[in-house]
């Protein structure tokens, strides 16, 4: 069997040229006589890999010098607790809850202080982004938290919230590197890389230097302090060497394609193909209010759960994998990250069109 079009929400498709390069280097990385998997993280050759990965990411995103880039294990989920543990000053945290991931993060933060939900779209099963232009931000809030692209519910912020001078923290897991990003609008940007960048098990945390504090409560574990990772070049202990290596390849690949402006252009084009189809279909419909639709995760439904399941089975048989929607939304979900080729989306739409004609 050849490669399928994999619409998984994550881990997700990787760019084929990157996989091929990795394959070529698998047994003997650049004459080192060993695979990156077998290499000491303290070796010169590995230091070059991690340094280049950081430099290329800085270049891609235009990360200012007063921000650190940290490679941390534990996935995006570990950040749900590291953020309140490390940013806690007054012990007040403001959350904007727009879906499953921001809700999880908010629930975790309650262990570390007082949490205010200053906006939520739970009333309509998270199918929109609330107006965030004038929210009741707490005077004592240590930060305002968002999940900028909700992977499960398929919504995205078109405009960042007005935090009234407070630090903005953003979970960008499922939109990382999908479009240009003005890093200095944020205190922290972070994401698990397995959605839009590389293999699972690594988070990238981009954090403004003044938020990396040494004066945390003594019971905060050493590994959960940003200062530990920052002062040791993300190598306090053995990092996820492999994932960092692969991410580095993806950064170079994105640069070769023309950077984040270009990715945004391609991603808009890809998403439009799918959304235009859904808007004109009588069989399928998108579940998100138009102006808040994600370019990365596209949930849609038929008129019944039974029919949804039939479509999922038919797509799988035709070589389109992982289109089953998350159980909290139901239906189908097409995740069309950077690595999904435009041909994959076109082929899926052709298939769904035919399916609709045959089943109406
Ligand atoms: C997948 C995802 C997470 C969780 O990532 P893990 O690396 O599995 O912990 C968190 N936030 C968002 C937005 C996600 O899409």
- Binding site membership of 299 for ligand 1 (Cβ less than 6 Å): no
Cα–ligand 1 centroid distance for 126 (angstroms): 17
State whether the beta carbon of 195 lies less than 6 angstroms from ligand 1: yes
Q: What secondary structure letter does DSSP report for 109?
A: H
What's the confidence (pLDDT) of residue 59?
A: 98
Q: Which of 95, 188, 192, 322 to mutate to test the pocket of ligand 1 (most atoms within 8 A of CB)?
A: 192
pLDDT tens column, 21-76: 999 999 999 999 999 999 999 999 999 999 999 999 999 999 999 999 999 999 99
Architecture of the structural domain at 16-257: 3-Layer(aba) Sandwich (3.40)
Contact, 140 vs 116, CB < 8 A?
no
Distance between CA 355 and CA 269 in Å, rounded? 23
Q: Kind and range of the H or E element at 246?
A: helix 241-257
Is 198 close to ligand 1, i.e. is its CB under 6 Å away? Answer: no
191 CB under 6 A from ligand 1? no
Rounded Cα–Cα distance for residues 237 and 235 (Å): 5
Q: Please report the atom of ligand 1 found closest to the CA of residue 174.
A: 15
CA–CA separation, 173 and 193 (whole Å)? 7
In this prediction, residue 141 carries a pLDDT of 98
Architecture of domain 258-359: Alpha-Beta Complex (3.90)
Written as six digits, the tokens of 266 are 């391609």
1 has a pLDDT exceeding 90: no
Q: What is the DSSP string of 4-42?
A: -EE--SSS----HHHHHHHHHHSSSGGGSSS-GGGS-TT
Residue 328: band (very low, low, confident or very high) from pLDDT cuts 50, 70, 90: confident
What average pLDDT does this structure show over 157-171? Answer: 98
* Residues annotated catalytic, as ranges: 101, 171, 195
Percent helix, strand and coil across the chain, each to the nearest 5: 40, 15, 40
DSSP 3-state of 123:
helix
Domain ranges of the chain: 16-257, 258-359
pLDDT range class, residue 219, cuts 50, 70, 90 = very high
pLDDT of residue 360: 82
Quick one: tokens of 71? 């490679």
Cα(90) to centroid of ligand 1, in Å?
A: 27
Checking if the pLDDT of 236 tops 80, the result is: yes
Tell me: pLDDT of 332 over 80: yes
Task: Find out whether the beta carbon of 163 lies less than 6 Å from any atom of ligand 1.
Answer: no
Is residue 152 lining ligand 1, measured as CB closer than 6 Å? Answer: no
Burial of 38 (0-12, 13-18, 19+ CB in 10 A): exposed
Contacts by residues 308-316 (CB-CB < 8 Å, ≥ 24 positions apart): 308/332, 311/352, 311/355, 314/355, 315/348, 315/351, 315/352
Count CB-CB contacts under 10 A for residue 55: 13
Mean pLDDT of 310-316: 96
Task: List pLDDT tens digits, range 270-305.
Answer: 999 999 999 999 999 999 999 999 999 999 999 999
User: How far does the centroid of ligand 1 lie from the alpha carbon of residue 171, in Å?
Assistant: 8
Check pLDDT > 90 for residue 90. Answer: yes
> 10 Å Cβ neighbour count for 180?
15
Q: What is the mean pLDDT of the chain?
A: 97
CA–centroid distance, 227 to ligand 1, in Å, is 23
Using the atom order of ligand 1, give the atom closest to the CA of residue 149: 13
Residue nearest to ligand 1 atom 5, measured at CA: 76
Percentage above 90 pLDDT, the chain: 98
Q: Kindly report, residue by residue over 115-137, the tens digit of the pLDDT.
A: 999 999 999 999 999 999 999 99
- Which tokens hold the place of 300? 């849609």
Distances (CA, A) of 206 to 128, 148, 153, 224: 27, 15, 25, 15
CA–centroid distance, 163 to ligand 1, in Å, is: 23
Output the pLDDT for position 2.
83
């Amino acid at each position: 069997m050849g490669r399928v079009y994999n619409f998984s929400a994550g881990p997700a498709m990787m760019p084929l040229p990157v996989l091929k390069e990795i394959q070529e280097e698998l047994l003997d990385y650049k004459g080192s006589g060993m695979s990156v998997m077998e290499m000491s993280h303290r070796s010169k050759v590995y230091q070059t890999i991690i340094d280049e990965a950081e430099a290329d990411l800085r270049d891609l995103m235009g990360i200012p010098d007063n921000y650190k880039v940290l490679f941390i294990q534990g996935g995006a989920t570990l950040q749900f607790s590291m953020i309140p543990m490390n940013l806690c000053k007054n012990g007040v945290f403001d959350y904007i809850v727009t879906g499953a991931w921001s809700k999880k993060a908010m629930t975790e933060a309650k262990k570390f202080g007082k949490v205010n939900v200053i906006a939520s779209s739970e009333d309509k099963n998270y199918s929109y982004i609330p107006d965030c232009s004038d929210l009741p931000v707490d005077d004592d809030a240590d930060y305002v938290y968002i999940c900028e692209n909700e992977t499960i519910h398929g919504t995205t912020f078109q405009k960042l919230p007005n935090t009234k001078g407070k630090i903005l923290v953003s979970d960008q897991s499922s939109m990382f590197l999908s479009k240009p990003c003005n890093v200095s609008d944020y205190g922290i940007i972070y994401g698990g890389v397995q959605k839009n960048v590389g293999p699972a098990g690594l988070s990238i945390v981009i954090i403004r230097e003044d938020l990396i504090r040494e004066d945390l409560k003594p019971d905060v574990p050493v590994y959960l302090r940003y200062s530990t990772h920052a002062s040791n070049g993300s190598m306090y202990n053995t990092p996820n060497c492999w994932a960092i290596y692969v991410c580095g390849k993806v950064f170079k690949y994105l640069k070769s394609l023309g950077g984040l402006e270009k990715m945004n252009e391609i991603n808009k084009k890809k998403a439009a193909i799918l959304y235009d189809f859904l808007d004109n279909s009588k069989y399928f419909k998108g579940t998100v209010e138009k102006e808040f639709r994600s370019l990365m995760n596209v949930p849609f439904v038929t008129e019944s759960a039974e029919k949804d399941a039939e479509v999922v089975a038919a797509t799988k048989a035709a070589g389109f994998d992982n289109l089953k929607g998350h159980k909290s939304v139901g239906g189908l979900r097409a995740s069309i990250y950077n690595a999904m080729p435009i041909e994959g989306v076109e082929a899926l739409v052709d298939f769904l069109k035919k399916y609709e004609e045959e089943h109406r």
